[in-house]
Amino acid sequence: MLNLLIATTLGETIMANIGYARVSTEGQELTAQLEQLKGAGVDKIFKEKASGVKQDRPQLAAMLDHLREGDTVIVCKLDRIARSTKHLLEIVETLEARKVSFKVLNINLDTSTPTGKLMLSMLAAIGQFEREMMLERQREGIELAKQAGKYKGRKATARDKSAEVQELLKQGMTKQAVADTLKIGVASVYRIARASTK
């Protein structure tokens, strides 16, 4: 922490370990996660008390805004940062684009190592498999609904809302506010914003 303070004072760029801790309900405590993160040598911790299904995670958005190239995000478990494999991969994609590493303490995942990258690619493969299975079930459901005359079309996805995301960002809204307004994940907003600057 002292090195970080000295480097900041001197105007140098220094890599930082950034922790993220989350509990799902107000009754749960962050103490155990905070102790593990401090033991892992984090310089700053973002603390969240939010449900796994809700889109609004202001501290996750704040952490993503805070990150700089070379930083490492550290969590105790995968389910503390992501709601699903798909959500996890969105977050990791955002981190990789920012050149930020990712560590998960309970499974020794570290994307700065070859083993960590392999583990991540396996997770990505699982995520793709889950998505293909979901799409197959969806197609079957749509076919049955069409036969019964009950098909109403699909709901808009985050990708479908990319023009709205870009417009709201141009108006000066924060990424978290855009996510809340459009009812999409904040990681999706970051991905759309990044794609629009390419």
Report the C-alpha gap between 92 and 102 in whole angstroms: 7
Q: Which helix (H) or strand (E) holds 90?
A: helix 85-97
Q: How confident is the model at residue 151 (pLDDT cuts 50, 70, 90)?
A: low
Tens digits of residue pLDDT in 120-148: 888 878 877 877 888 888 888 878 877 87
- Residues in contact with 50: Cβ distance below 8 Å, sequence separation at least 6, in sequence order: 22, 24, 56, 57, 59
Classify residue 33 by burial, with Cβ atoms within 10 Å: 0-12, 13-18, 19+.
buried
Average pLDDT over residues 44-53: 80
162 is catalytic: no
Report the C-alpha gap between 91 and 107 in whole angstroms: 18
Select from 1.10.10.10, 3.50.50.60, 3.90.1150.10, 3.40.50.1390 the CATH code of 2-118: 3.40.50.1390
Q: Which two tokens stand for residue 45?
A: 């911790």
Tokens 């995000």 found at? 73
Task: Check 24, 84, 112, 121 and give the catalytic one.
Answer: 24
- With a cut of 70, say whether residue 51 has pLDDT above it: no
**Cα first-last separation, the chain:** 35
Task: Supply the DSSP string of 40-82, one letter for each residue.
Answer: TT-SEEEEEE--SS-S--HHHHHHHHH--TT-EEEESSHHHH-
Q: Over pLDDT 90: what percentage of the chain?
A: 34
Domain ranges of the chain: 2-118, 155-198
Classify residue 107 by burial, with Cβ atoms within 10 Å: 0-12, 13-18, 19+.
exposed
Question: What SS3 state is found at 172?
Answer: coil
Tens digits of residue pLDDT in 81-127: 988 888 888 899 899 999 999 999 999 999 999 999 898 888 878 87
